[in-house]
């Protein structure tokens, strides 16, 4: 008796099939918990591999759990391959805590592209923020020398972009230069997801549609919200994957939709915490993802980009 077909392969969605290698928390929304549900709402089949499984994110007073090592990651990949399940249109990666695991991720990229040469690899190079590195220093060189060249889209924050390009980003022109530097190294799409200059918060996006040609670049100004949230970078990168695949030649539109969704989620989160009387500037806030699903599926575009000329 023949086994039943794998419907996500036999009857694939119009959007795609995503393998997402990120952290997982039992409670709260970071890593895969922040990325999988939004992508599913946008119509993607998503298969998560949890690089860690923790009780909660590490900002709490304590946490418990397990860490997946590189050999265990490869065991999962081999199990999928043995059953003919390793065809993916997209790979998404976020926080990775060791060089050995990151090197195994590179092996996964090669394996997935041997099966689907058109695989889109969306990489959030989680290295640090606001001048502080929170991964082992040696990871920076591996990202710069090995990961960036094989990525299709890169979504660093300002500090991470500085680490990858090797110079400070102090002006918008520096940000645009950093995008072009990264294009030359590999990815055709780059979004620096948060730049803070002279009290203004904005993103810079850049799409180099053909190698050795100029890039289309834009900025989107973002409202500052007086609170700190966890999982926002993971959510933003997932949204950028989702919308940029729907609008492959219009990264500005994809970023406008992504930013509009993210800001709606954060505003709802802030409002809900305020209802409890919580001082929202006293600790990091868990985003209200389930309650914001309409804003994820059908965002109202409130943040519009400006093309650089």
Instruction: Catalogue the active-site residues.
Output: 234
**Nearest in space to 109 (alpha carbons), one of 95, 93, 127:** 93
Residue 20 has φ and ψ, to the nearest 5°, of -115, 115
> Under the phi-then-psi rule, with left for phi > 0, alpha for psi from -120 to 50, and beta for the rest, what region is 146?
alpha
Residue 254 has φ and ψ, to the nearest 5°, of -60, -40
* CB neighbour list of residue 74: distance below 8 Å, 6 or more residues apart: 104, 107, 108
Q: 3-state DSSP: the chain helix, strand, coil percent, rounded to 5? A: 40, 20, 35
> Which DSSP string corresponds to 165-230?
HTS---SHHHHHHHHHHHHHHS-SEEEEEEEEETTEEEEEEEE-SSTTSPPEEEEEEE---SSEEE
User: Which of the 8 DSSP states describes residue 84?
Assistant: T
Q: Are 21 and 46 in contact (CB under 8 A)?
A: no
Q: Residues 106, 111, 112, CA angle at the centre, nearest 5°?
A: 95
């Amino acid at each position: 008796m023949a086994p039943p077909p794998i419907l996500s392969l036999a009857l694939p969605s119009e959007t795609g099939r995503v393998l997402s290698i990120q952290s997982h928390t039992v409670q709260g929304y970071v890593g895969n918990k922040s990325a999988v549900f939004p992508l599913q709402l946008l119509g993607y089949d998503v298969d998560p591999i949890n690089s860690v499984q923790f009780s909660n994110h590490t900002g709490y007073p304590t946490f418990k759990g397990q860490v997946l090592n590189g050999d265990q990651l490869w065991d999962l990949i081999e199990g999928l391959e043995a059953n003919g399940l390793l065809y993916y249109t997209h790979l998404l990666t976020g926080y990775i805590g060791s060089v050995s695991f990151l090197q195994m991720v590179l092996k996964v990229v090669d394996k997935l592209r041997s099966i689907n040469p058109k695989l889109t690899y969306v990489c959030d190079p989680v290295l640090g923020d606001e001048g502080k590195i929170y991964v082992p220093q040696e990871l920076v060189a591996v990202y710069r020398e090995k990961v960036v060249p094989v990525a299709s889209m890169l979504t660093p924050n300002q500090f991470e972009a500085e680490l990858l390009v090797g110079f400070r980003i102090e002006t918008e022109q520096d940000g645009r230069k950093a995008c072009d530097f990264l294009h030359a190294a590999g990815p055709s799409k780059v979004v620096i997801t948060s730049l803070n200059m002279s009290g203004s918060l904005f993103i810079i996006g850049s799409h180099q549609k053909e190698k050795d040609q100029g890039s289309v670049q834009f900025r989107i100004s973002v409202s500052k919200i007086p609170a700190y949230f966890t999982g926002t970078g993971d959510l933003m990168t997932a949204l950028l994957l989702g919308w940029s695949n729907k609008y492959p030649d219009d990264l500005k539109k994809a970023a406008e939709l992504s930013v509009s969704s993210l800001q709606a989620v954060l505003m709802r989160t802030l409002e809900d915490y305020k209802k409890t009387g919580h001082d929202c500037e006293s600790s990091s806030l868990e985003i209200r993802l389930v309650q914001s699903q309409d804003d994820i599926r059908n965002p109202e575009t409130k943040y519009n980009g400006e093309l650089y000329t």
